[in-house]
Every structure is written in C-alpha cells, then in structure tokens.
C-alpha cells in the first residue's frame, strides 16, 4: 500500500498559471502534470526534529530589546486533517511584513521603515489538540510591482509540515474585510470563492485579551491520511 495520502482536489488551490499574477507566467508548467507514485520517504516520518523550537519562538513581539511598533494581535487556531482530526505536535512557521508593510529582506526596498524590534518570523508546535498560538503585530499592506498600483492585502505567510512532506501546506492568512482583496491577483488566483474565504481569519472576541491584543482565529486543514482504504463498491 503505497498511496497513503489521497491526491489533493485542485479546485481549492490557486491555479498554477494565473495570468494576472505575473510571475506565474514564467514558473507555471506548460505541459500537463505527470503524477508519480508516492515514495516511502515522502509518506513516512516527520521531517523535522522537535528540538530547538522554544516557547518564546511564537511571540514575535519579544525577539528584541524593545517592543515593535504597530497593533499587537494574537493569531491562534487549530490544525486539522481532512477528516477533522487534530494534527498534534506539528511545526507551524510564519513570516510577515512589519506594521509599515516592510519585510526584513534585501529585495524589499520600498520606502517604509524597518522596525529594529521586529524581524517578522516565528514558529510553534501544535499541542495535543492541534492548537497553535502566535503573538505578533498586524502586518501592513505593501506595494509590489506586479502591475500599476499593485498592493498586497495584509497577510501572514504560513508553512506547516504535518506528519509528512505530502501533507505540507504553504499558505497565506488574511484579515477580514480587507478592501484590497478584489484587486489582489494572488488572493484571486484561488478561483473558488469558498476556498478564498477559508484564507481569511476571523476576528474573535473570545481570544481577544482585554487591554492587550485583538484575537484572530485561523484554522488550517491539511491533507488527511487514509487510515482505512475504502474498497470500491461492488455491482451486486
């Protein structure tokens, strides 16, 4: 039994070639994909060690001597598989721009200030119920040169490994009600409206902490493992 993970439904994912998102024109495959059988090294094992992920890695506001500027927020949620089962002890990594919309990256040179107290990268492990929690700063919108007057809606990048490479997800989390959604070719490269809505976090008063920070909830669903392969129904 080599096919432990079912193939993704492509409908919920961004199109490989999305003409309005300029860089996909060069990197999207021009020929139909050839599906190869999954190999043992893909389907087994976690591919990272738990050593080295410290509790403080999930608080992006305390990585420097001072506090970063901007709106402090709490981003939390659950990591689940397709069958709704929690994915415990899995690595969640995030990276993001600062409150002014600037990344600490050599290629981001647009005229917004860097914040000496904000790097914009964090990581956490989910607990036994698949829960994760980050404290960070709400990122700003930022310009990119995809087209004239192109601005990305505020977003946080997420990477999750899950139990294997085949369940890895890289995605972006957005904030509710952003007026830039309809102008953003990356957000719009997910053509299914319901799937786009699943990229938008939910403001949550329950995880908002008084006089401290607003709470946003963002649940993530990874590809599930077929523990019990289903037989084809018989005709008789």
Concerning whether 85 is annotated as a catalytic residue, the answer is: no
Catalytic residue among 152, 174, 216, 225: 152
Active site residue 142: yes
Q: Which of 78, 102, 123, 155 is catalytic?
A: 155
Backbone phi and psi for residue 207, each to the nearest 5 degrees, phi listed first: -100, 0
For this structure, is 155 an active site residue?
Answer: yes
Kindly give, in sequence order, each residue whose CB lies less than 8 Å from that of residue 15, ignoring residues fewer than 6 positions away.
24, 28, 189, 191
Determine the distance from the C-alpha atom of residue 201 to the mean position of all C-alpha atoms in its chain, rounded to a whole number. 11
Among the listed residues 209, 80, 77, 230, the one whose alpha carbon sits nearest the alpha carbon of residue 156: 77
Among 5, 21, 103, 174, the one annotated catalytic: 103
Among candidate residues 5, 142, 174, 216, the one labeled active-site is 142
Is-catalytic flag, 157?
Answer: yes
Are β-strands 72-81 and 131-137 bridged in parallel, bridged antiparallel, or unpaired?
antiparallel
Q: Reduced to 3 states, what is the DSSP secondary structure of residue 137? A: strand
Of these residues, 157, 196, 198, 202, which one is catalytic? 157
Tokens of 225: 């493992």
**Two tokens, residue 113:** 């200030």
| Catalytic center residues | 103, 142, 152, 155, 157
């Amino acid at each position: 039994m080599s096919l432990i993970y079912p193939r993704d439904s492509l409908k919920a994912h961004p199109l490989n070639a999305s003409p309005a998102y300029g860089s996909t024109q060069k990197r999207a495959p021009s020929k139909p994909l050839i599906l190869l059988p999954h190999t043992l090294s893909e389907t087994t094992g976690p591919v990272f060690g738990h050593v080295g992920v410290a509790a403080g890695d999930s608080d992006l506001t305390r990585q420097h001597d001072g506090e970063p500027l901007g709106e402090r927020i709490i981003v939390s949620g659950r990591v689940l598989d397709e069958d709704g089962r929690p994915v415990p002890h899995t690595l969640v990594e995030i990276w993001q721009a600062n409150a002014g919309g600037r990344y600490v990256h050599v290629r981001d040179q647009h005229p917004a200030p860097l914040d000496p107290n904000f790097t914009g990268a964090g990581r956490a492990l989910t607990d036994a119920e698949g829960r994760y929690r980050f404290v960070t700063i709400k990122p700003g919108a930022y310009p990119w040169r995809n087209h004239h007057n192109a601005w990305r809606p505020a977003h946080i990048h997420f990477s999750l490994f899950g139990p294997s490479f085949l369940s890895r997800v890289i995605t972006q989390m957005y904030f509710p009600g952003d007026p830039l959604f309809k102008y953003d070719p990356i957000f719009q490269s997910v053509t299914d409206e319901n799937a786009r809505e699943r990229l938008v976090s939910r403001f949550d008063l329950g995880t908002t902490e008084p006089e401290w920070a607003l709470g946003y909830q963002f649940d993530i669903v990874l590809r599930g493992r077929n523990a019990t392969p289903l037989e084809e129904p018989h005709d008789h």
